[in-house]
Structure 1
Amino acid sequence: MTKRAFLSFVLVFVVACVFAQQKVIRVNQLGYLPQSVKVAVFLSTETENADRFQLFDALNDKLVYEAKVKLVDGTDWGMQTAFRLDFSAVTKNGGYYLEIGETRSPAFQISHDVYNGTADFLLNYMRQQRCGYNPYLKDSCHLHDGIIVDHPTKTGQKIDVTGGWHDASDYLQYLTTSANATYQLLYAYEQNPAVFKDDYQENGESGANGIPDILDEAKWGLDWMVKMNPSAGEMYNQIADDRDHRGYRLPNKDTVSYGLDGTYRPVYFITGKPQGLSEHKNRTTGVSSSAAKYASAFALGAMMMKEHYPEFAEQIAAKAAKAYTFALSDLGACQTACNVSPYFYEEANYADDLELAATTLYQLTGDAYYLTEAKKWGSVENVTPWMSTGFARHYQFYPFVNLGHVKLAEKDETFATYLKQGLTHLYDRGKDDPFLNGIPFIWCSNNLVAAAITQARAYDEITGDQSFAEMEAALRDWLFGCNPWGTSMICGLPAGGDNPQESHSSITKILGETTCGGLVDGPVYNSIFSGLIGIEIQQPDPFEAFNKGKAVYHDDLGDYSSNEPTMDGTASLSYYLSSMEKMGAAQQNDSEKDSQGAIRRIIQPSEKNIYLVFSAHDKAEGAEHILKTLDKKDCKASFFFTGDFLRDKQFQSTIKKVIKDGHYLGAHSDKHLLYCDWNKRDSLLVDRTTFEQDLKDNYKALEKFGINSENASWFLPPYEWYNSATVNWADALGLTTVNFSPGIRSNADYTTPDMANYLSSDKIIKSIFQVEEEQGLNGAIMLIHPGTEEKRTDKFYLRLEELIERLQAKGYHFKRLP
């Protein structure tokens, strides 16, 4: 049986299975970071009445977690029932599966390293798309690029523009997408440099060269752009045109003729006017969008390449400034050119390109002129239009994410507000969808998903606002299988998972290999798909049962609309996946932060440490018992006292013994102020000056005991209540905000029987061991009060020895904060 015949047999079998059981649980096949939103989706073509789901250990089938389902509307996807299954509370590393009744999900992992190497994996496809020397084919192509067209004086002249990347499965090359891809690669490295490996040489062959591979790839794009911009005001926008669409062939076997000298291809000069060599013309209105893309990529490239290519960095820095000047000379959008058909990249906006170019030039030069320009252009288009309208023509609003807003948001909160507005539009459209997906399913819908999660991640990192965390997670998971079809949208990732194997590509057609690392276009509206010409589904469709909704997707060579990988879409995921890898590394090796930015766990993977924390302001009747117990059990802990406590004569012996016994002693504010409203956390009750002075006074009291910020930089806020602003203020003072780990209820030991939230010591003990069983307590910060109201006779600190002994028996060690 041939490989193709065998695959057809397998697909027929899979289709039969799908129709036999049309109840599925969709998960992120790649897995989940321990400290992340984790939600799977259940779909059924039948009405289901389940109210709970269960999570099991994949190795021993032990029940690990159980919770209620969330009923959502699945009718848009042709489903009678849809549930969202939230298991975010489970953070322990391991392998798991989900069940509802007899429906079981694929096994998946929770681990800190699930995203490790994913950003570098994308580069496999970028290298495969290289024009000129192609390391995948170990051969060269299009060495005769090209002959200039549409130039007032140079038309017909030859120009060396070999290089860059082919756009998709065809071999056209566009400045529009290539410049954006180059910038995305550079931006990913700028933000997350430690993530990227060095396993390949500059030419794409295996072998380290001392330069991160992502910079090698970005340099390939920059070198081509330099050729396409040989002098100031002379820019080219495109190589070849839609005459390229002549069926499957490898790029080194490309024999398409354009009626030029032999195998030369046309190189389109940027005219700023409607363009096309035949009856079909685009709607170009100026040069700004393309010229500004040159400027931004050159400017960021100059900064990122300086260490490895100083002379080249100087060259493109100069080009960047000239490109920006040219961009202002003829305001308007520059579109790609067509020939045999009226289809082209219909980019219609350009203010975003000017904003990004000016922002990056300001970053490069420090010239205030560019900052003024950036803010001016940034105010023209507050929200990337496809986000607000929910629709666009093909590449009408490009790039799909405004990184100019992102960079300006770091300096001006107005632009953070713009980012939030765009995300709010997406959230409002998708909030009732089982997958929280408010993306319009036009061509290249996956590129829009990549743009949305890039904006969500950047907004979160800049502001600390996690309002869109669940949407971000849902859209991220969408790309890795938590979608109606249960498939990853990145070819070959994860290995051994359900991912595109029959992508619309000559590599697949001729060589029978998948385009590893390539992000496919993604699902399109059924209404779009039904009107396409030339679609030919070549094999039985294993996704047929899930193509009855608003959008369709096929892992089939014949579906060029949903299953074709694109170079720019692939590059646009570099930042996001590298950010996720960095996040995983931080969770594994250092600490976990809450939504406000405070550290709530300190992770040492090779150890099982618990950090006992004791805080006091005006009560400490249990301090002597606590210190004796810690000494008896050979444990270290951390104490946080207010300035008032430190100055109170009745507590002097306690303070001295804390220090003498080697425990940590740190700041808890001076006057035990309430920093923010209990009901509206982002509403501050103190200003920055008051906050800073209060902390300084706290440290003055600490200094009398030999404690200063150099040996005590952890800070526990009063009432353990704070917001992102106070965390940032503390950061600016060189202090790190810390708080107790969630789920552990030891902090409720202050409650009294007359309170509605009263918690007995027995219940507190139970909560601790429940968390230990479900998640583990490695790195946990456990807060206990050494003094409470007299009305509470059930003093939890009297159970300290019991608590320590039981946890030590499970292999835990008690340490002071590092």
Structure 2
Amino acid sequence: MMKSKKTWLTLVAGACIVTANAIAFSNQAQPGYEASVEVAAEEQTWIRINQLGYTPSGIKVAVWVSKSQARLKRFELVDAATNKVVFKGKAGETYGAYGPFSESYRLNFSAYSKPGNYYLRAGKVKSPEFKIADDVYKGTADFALRYMRQQRSGFNPYLKDSCHTDDGYTMYGPMPDSTIIDVSGGWHDASDYLQYSTTSANATYHLLAAYRDFPEVFTDKHLDNGLEGTNGVADVLDEARWGLNWLLKMHPKEDWLFNQLADDRDHQGLRLPTKDDVDYGMGKGKARPVYFVTGEPQGLGKYKNRATGAASTAGKFASAFALAAQTYQGKDNDLAKLFRQKALSAYKLGLAKPGVAQTAPNRAPYFYEEDNWVDDMQLGAAALYQLTNDQSYFKQGYTYGLQEKVTPWMGADTARHYQWYPFHNFGHFELAKKADAKSKAELISFYKEGIERVFAKAKKNAFYRGVPFIWCSNNLTTSFAIQNHLCRKMTGDQTFAELEQANIDWLFGCNPWGTSMVFGLPAHGDTPVDPHSSLTYLHQYPLDGGLVDGPVYGSIFNNLKGIALVQEDEYAAFQSKLVVYHDDFGDYSTNEPTMDGTASLIYLLAAQEQSSREGAQAKK
């Protein structure tokens, strides 16, 4: 059911980043959160579905959940037009309690493939209607690009106005502090207006990879400035170019690399980016500080990060620039040459200063606590190997890959905020493309080990949920689904295909709350309407395509500072001591969209649309 628009209240925005408390991952309830409403006995059971729908040749699973102790034996798939039963299935074994529910089952109807509109029925309980069709993912990646354009700094095509054009003044660099340089452009990181090289370079890589791997799914309906029109370039490549242009400014010289624009002094109330008048107190007007990568701890206020090097940022720059050089080769050779030079110089900086370049806090002890960097250098080396065919880059990349075979959050109960970033490592996949059989098999085994670690937890609950409920859990979910896709693409092995699809289904409604985690997608569904954003809060501007942070452990939510729901919780019946999600402006921990998470989602949705197309063609 579509949610109605809620009453808008006034609330000063709190800080948008906190460190996730270490808590145990469990399929059972965790202390710290209590639902506040009672549900009538006849409303104790639900069927959760992927609201986008299911493809005819794909895996089709819904989840039946109940707060009662009732057991389920069978279910039916019903044609919504005729109300006739078209498929009967056995419920199988119970998965037992999970979150607020006492019983749960996976309802697998993958054997049914006829296109149409349907609903599932188990006893008197019916699911929402959904469709089975080849086009359920059509246009979804392009839809998510709307949020990326809305996040643009410099000229913002959504607002048709400019913002942050005075950025910025330097800190920690080899030049005198407060030197003015031009670093305007790029994307705002989330609903605040900070900008980070690490998330922007990762987002740019995902957009370029999506264009490279799935070019047919993207359209050309916008100009390079983001306004409506056509320019002969796919919109996803225009968006990637917007990111690349900013990265060029953040790496303007061979030995200059900047990591961050603005800091948490940004968190001073609600405003549109075009009305941002925060004064950073340096007598520079509207200019904001831009932080040079030194490889040492930074923080201009009370708090500092734990930076140890430059490689985590430099490696991300190298991979984005190297892939850009490949993309523009033959289209714009001068541009391709520039990106090649920037990729080589960024990678050189990473070699010179191994370690992590974390983001810098100021007034609060919250920052992106990235602790790994060999994955970034591995991907940079892989992209340079593809670009240059220089075998030394393959050897370096492979050596880096051996140092971190599995992204450390996979299988873990918790992690600090962005501690292991990016949330999956493209490097194993990119190296494997041109590896010998033995090396390829080993790289594939690293992916499989990570997947198996997550599946060991996931197979114990009906949602196949093995991703920990830390901050930005939806970003982890998206990345994990991408890793499954990449592994399956390399091997053809379908062992984890249902796990992969379960993570996609989770994002679009097959979760305890029955809601999509993407603003406005699908249009007919239950999706976020009250995200933590000034654009929606002040002016009701939709954040189409934005992937919200996602559910967090109840214990995390209850320990956050400056957080309060501003209206009645429509999902109160589905909150638990284990995990919570609120579609409420006041909950910046679960309902704030992120730019880099959305960029990853664009790659995943493009992969799904391409897979659907291939499935349809195979039937012809």
Quickly say closer, same or farther: Cα 1:3–1:355, change in 2 above 3 A.
Answer: closer
Tell me the equivalent position of 1:538: 566
1:249 and 2:271 matched: yes
Structure 1 residue 30: Cα displacement: 0.1
Matches within 5 A, 1:171-210: 171-210=193-232
SS at match of 1:278: coil
Deviates more, 1:475-484 or 1:547-556: 547-556
Residues in 2 aligned to 1:6 and 1:325: alpha-carbon distance in whole angstroms: 50
1:308 CA displacement: 3.8
Equivalent residue number for residue 734 of structure 1: none
Q: Check whether the contact 1:211–1:308 (CA below 8 A) recurs between aligned residues.
A: no
Q: Which amino acid aligns with 1:120?
A: D
Alignment partner, residue 395 of structure 1: 418
Residue 366 of structure 2, aligned match among 329, 343, 346: 343
Distance 2:41 2:592 in 1: 26
Q: Which runs of structure 2 are paired with 1:571-590 in the superposition (5 Å)?
A: 571-588=599-616, 590=617
Report the Cα distance in structure 1 between the residues aligned to 2:335 and 2:40, rounded to whole angstroms: 55
Amino acid at match of 1:238: Q
Q: In structure 2, which of residues 66, 73, 79 is the aligned counterpart of residue 44 of structure 1?
A: 66
Match of 2:12 in 1: none
- Tell which deviates more after alignment, 72-81 or 448-457: 72-81
Matches within 5 A, 1:237-636: 237-260=259-282, 261-410=284-433, 411=435, 412-588=440-616, 590-591=617-618, 603-604=619-620
Q: Deviations over 1:755-779 (max 9, x none)?
A: xxxxxxxxxxxxxxxxxxxxxxxxx
Code of the residue aligned with 1:333 in structure 2: it is V
Deviation track 1:729-757 (CA, whole Å, cap 9, x = no partner) reads: xxxxxxxxxxxxxxxxxxxxxxxxxxxxx
Q: What amino acid sits opposite 1:583 in the alignment? A: S
Q: 1:382 to 1:22 in 2, by over 3 A?
A: same
Letter in 2 for 1:559: D
CA distance in 1, matches of 2:324, 2:42: 54
Contact 2:411 2:466 in 1 (8 A): no
Secondary structure at the residue paired with 2:259? strand
**Distance in 1 between residues matched to 2:41 and 2:596, nearest whole Å:** 36
Q: Which residue of 2 aligns with 1:153?
A: 175
Structure 1 unmatched ranges of 5 or more: 8-14, 592-602, 605-818
For each residue in 1:659-696, what CA deviation from the matched residue of structure 2 results, as whole angstroms up to 9, or x when unmatched? xxxxxxxxxxxxxxxxxxxxxxxxxxxxxxxxxxxxxx
State the one-letter code of the partner of 1:577: L
1:107-162: CA deviation from partner (whole Å, max 9, x where unpaired): 00000010001111110000000000000000000010000011133322100000
Unpaired runs of at least 5, structure 2? 10-36
**Could you report, residue by residue, the CA deviation over 1:223-280 in whole angstroms, capped at 9, with x for unpaired residues?**
0000111101101000000010112110000011111211110000111000111221
Secondary structure of the 2:317 match is helix
The SS at the match of 1:237 is: strand
SS at match of 1:70: coil
Rounded Cα–Cα distance in structure 1 between residues aligned with 2:552 and 2:378: 31
Deviation string, structure 1 residues 298-321 (Cα, Å, up to 9, x no partner): 000111133443322210111101
1:400 shift after superposition = 0.4
Inter-partner Cα distance in structure 2 for 1:74 and 1:210: 54
Task: State whether residues 5 and 529 of structure 2, in contact with CA within 8 Å, keep that contact through their aligned partners in structure 1.
Answer: no
Say whether 1:91 aligns with 2:113: yes
Aligned to 2:142: 120
Larger Rg: 1
CA distance in 2, matches of 1:307, 1:17: 62
Helix, strand or coil: the match of 1:341? Answer: coil
What SS does the aligned partner of 1:230 have? coil
Partners of 1:53 and 1:96 lie apart in 2 by: 13
Q: CA deviation at 1:390?
A: 3.3
Q: Distance in 1 between matches of 2:160 and 2:42?
A: 46
Cα distance 1:364–1:48, how it changes in 2: closer, same or farther (>3 A)?
same
1:299–1:18 distance in 2 versus 1, CA, 3 Å? farther
Alignment partner of 1:138 is 2:199: no
Letter in 2 for 1:231: K
Q: 1:16 Cα shift?
A: 8.3
What SS is found at the alignment partner of 1:24?
Answer: strand
Q: Name the CA distance, whole Å, in 2 between partners of 1:131 and 1:221.
A: 10
TM superposition shift of 1:73: 3.1
Number of equivalent positions = 584
What is the CA-CA distance between 1:389 and the residue it aligns to?
2.4
8 Å Cα contact 2:224-2:231 kept in structure 1: yes
Give the whole-Å Cα distance in 2 for the aligned partners of 1:296 and 1:26: 39
Deviations 1:168-205 (A, max 9, x none): 00000000100000001111111111111111110000
* Preserved contact between residue 412 and residue 468 of structure 2 (Cα < 8 Å): no
Cα distance, 1:97–1:276 mapped onto 2, change above 3 Å: same
Query: Do residues 167 (structure 1) and 199 (structure 2) align?
Result: no
On the 8 A contact 1:43/1:74 being kept in 2, the answer is no
Contact kept, 8 Å, 1:149 with 1:267, in 2: the verdict is yes
Q: Hey, what's the Cα distance between the residues in 2 that align with 1:18 and 1:337?
A: 49
Over residues 401-444 of structure 1, what are the superposed CA-to-partner deviations in whole Å (9 max), with x where a residue is unaligned? Answer: 10001112333111000000000001001111110010000000
Q: Secondary structure at the match of 2:606?
A: helix
CA distance in 2, matches of 1:396, 1:350: 11
Could you tell me which amino acid in structure 2 is paired with residue 471 of structure 1? Answer: L
Alignment of 1:679-698 (within 5 A): none
Amino acid across the alignment from 1:390: D
What CA deviation, in whole Å up to 9, does each residue of 1:343-371 have, x standing for no partner?
10000100000000000000011111111
Aligned to 1:665: none
Question: Could you tell me which of 245, 260, 263 is aligned with 1:223?
Answer: 245
Asked if the contact 2:38/2:573 (under 8 Å) is kept, the reply is no
Q: Is the 8 A contact 1:526 1:552 kept in 2?
A: yes
Deviation at 1:5, TM superposition (A): 4.4
- Determine the C-alpha separation between the residues in 1 that align with 2:600 and 2:151: 15
Take 1:16 and 1:96, find their aligned partners in 2: how far apart are those partners?
A: 30
8 Å CA contact 1:509–1:557 kept in 2: the answer is yes
SS of 2:209's partner is helix
Deviation at 1:342, TM superposition (A): 1.0
Instruction: From the superposition, tell whether residues 67 and 110 of structure 1 become closer, same or farther in structure 2 (CA, over 3 Å).
Output: same
> Measured at CA, do residues 437 and 358 of structure 1 come closer, stay the same or move farther in structure 2, by a change above 3 Å?
same
Q: Is 1:35 the equivalent of 2:57?
A: yes
**Which letter maps to 2:86?**
V
- 1:583-611 CA-to-partner distances (Å, cap 9, x unmatched) read 111122x21xxxxxxxxxxx23xxxxxxx
- Asked if the contact 2:202/2:422 (under 8 Å) is kept, the reply is yes
Partner of 1:232: 254
CA contact (8 A) 2:259 2:292 kept: yes
Cα offset for 1:388? 3.5
Alpha-carbon RMSD across the aligned residues, in angstroms, is 1.5
